[in-house]
Chains A and B, each alone.
Chain A
């Protein structure tokens, strides 16, 4: 930038923006003294990673999962009682390698991927402040992989995720 523009820039910087009125400070003080409206703290979008977005599953799903776990546990206990004990031919964990037991639990994340498999425009909605917005639902499958370098075992976890995006729109 040339010299005259630098001078102009300095001249502009020397100007001080006018102060807000006392009325504004009083209004802010009054508003901050009031209780915050609950509606304004609601996030504008949610993802399925929020606990709240899984509420549709509800307690019946939790109860069903517990019942399945209990049934599987009972079945395993019954089989163990019926089957004669078999002495393992080799120890489950090799004691000759002192590193192995410590490393057995070391799973390290090796990859994470998110695949968008569906995108649906859910149309126009109105926000709390009456602002028009458009809502879109993105459906992903997130896949995470962990690997245990000690024994090369891997664990892969895939979970579906819905993301609802609410984007304010303007009609000019």
Chain B
């Protein structure tokens, strides 16, 4: 697993981990703009007050992002703006993943669509495991579920994706 030490500059840390945090935030928000808002809130709080705490900062940040996202969802006054931004974002960009040179854009969109059809419970465990690289123990702590539950949700999520996606043909 990639080391998550905290460098002196917030920009270095954010360059390394920002995209993964943003992906997590997308799990619990309705638009990319909202996801960026909650990442900002969680990251600023972490950098100001929590970066000297012992332990893996990624799990702490995931918990913080999730809490900020749930708080944001409760603020009803933002709903209209949020929905407007969501439609705009999704029309302009991919939802979760960045295009890469030589990648299969259609396959990427298929995966994104299949991810969105997963249940929220399965999708959040899958994202935290694959892209945030958390252990099942850390996922359990972040989501408030036992590690075994996280592991079984992960297996079900992969199985469900497998059914939805055609196997990748190489060559």
Q: Does B bind A? A: yes
Contact flag A41-B49 (CB < 8 Å), given A15-B111, A18-B93: yes
Q: How far is the CA of A25 from the CA of B22 in the complex (A)?
A: 12
Q: Does A63 contact B (CB under 8 A)?
A: no
Q: How many residues of A contact B (CB 8 A)?
A: 29
Quote the shortest CB–CB distance from A15 to chain B (angstroms): 5
Chain B binding surface, main DSSP class: helix
Is the pair B158, A5 in contact by a Cβ cutoff of 8 Å? yes
Q: Which A residues lie within 8 Å of B168 (CB)?
A: 7, 11
Q: Does A83 contact B (CB under 8 A)?
A: no
Task: Please pick, from B11, B108, B158, the residue contacting A8 in the complex, using a CB distance under 8 A.
Answer: B158
Task: Please pick, from A12, A18, A23, A28, the residue contacting B98 in the complex, using a CB distance under 8 A.
Answer: A18
CB-contacts of A6-61 with B (<8 A) = 7-9, 11-13, 15-21, 23-25, 27-28, 31-32, 36, 40-41
Chain B CB within 10 A, most for which of A11, A18, A41, A131 = A18
Q: Does A4 contact B (CB under 8 A)?
A: yes
Q: Which B residues lie within 8 Å of A19 (CB)?
A: 18-19, 22, 98
Interface segment, one of B57-65, B76-84, B159-167: B159-167
User: Told that A23-B36, A25-B18 touch, could you supply 8 new A-B pairs with CB distance under 8 A?
Assistant: A11-B168, A13-B130, A18-B19, A18-B22, A18-B98, A19-B98, A27-B36, A31-B40
**B residues in contact (CB < 8 Å) with A:** 10-11, 14, 18-20, 22-23, 32, 36, 39-40, 43-45, 47-49, 70-71, 74, 93-94, 96-98, 100, 108, 111, 126, 130-131, 155, 158-159, 161-162, 165, 167-168
16 A-B residue pairs with CB within 8 Å: A5-B159, A8-B162, A8-B165, A11-B168, A12-B111, A12-B126, A17-B19, A17-B96, A18-B22, A18-B94, A20-B14, A20-B22, A21-B36, A24-B40, A27-B36, A32-B10
